[in-house]
Amino acid sequence: MHCDIYKFPKHDDMYVYIARPDYPDDTDEIRDWLGVLPKDFRAFLGRSKFVMHLDLAATPTLARVDKAEVLAKLESQGYFVQMPPQDVMRRQSELRAREAQDNIYD
């Protein structure tokens, strides 16, 4: 299974894997690969940036996620969302809370 990986500047360390089951035969026309995402979720993510193309069959393991889970989601829904680690999410929440509190007193 081939996939493309995208990141989103508004969401640190969040990556979205998009299935490309017909690669390389699906490259004849330009397509909106992120079109498989639910509209509300895609709007929430904001602007995307292509990170890389990956052949999961040739990749023994993935850094932060279980390869079997990624493959299962790609096959069932066409995408997989890799969330940031818990410590990164906690740090981001704390920073947003501080910014909101600081803005109250500006």
Tens-digit pLDDT profile for residues 55-106 = 999 989 888 889 999 999 999 999 999 987 777 667 766 777 777 777 776 5
The CATH number that applies at residue 45 is 3.10.510.20
CB-neighbour burial class of residue 1 (10 A; exposed 0-12, middle 13-18, buried 19+)? middle
43-to-5, 11, 21, 38, 83 alpha-carbon distances in Å: 17, 12, 25, 9, 17
- Quickly tell me which residue has 């895609």 as its tokens: 42
Tens-digit pLDDT profile for residues 24-59 = 888 777 678 888 999 999 998 999 999 999 999 998
Tally of domains within the chain: 1
Tens-digit pLDDT profile for residues 10-27 = 887 889 999 998 888 887
Domain with 74, as residue range(s), is 2-104
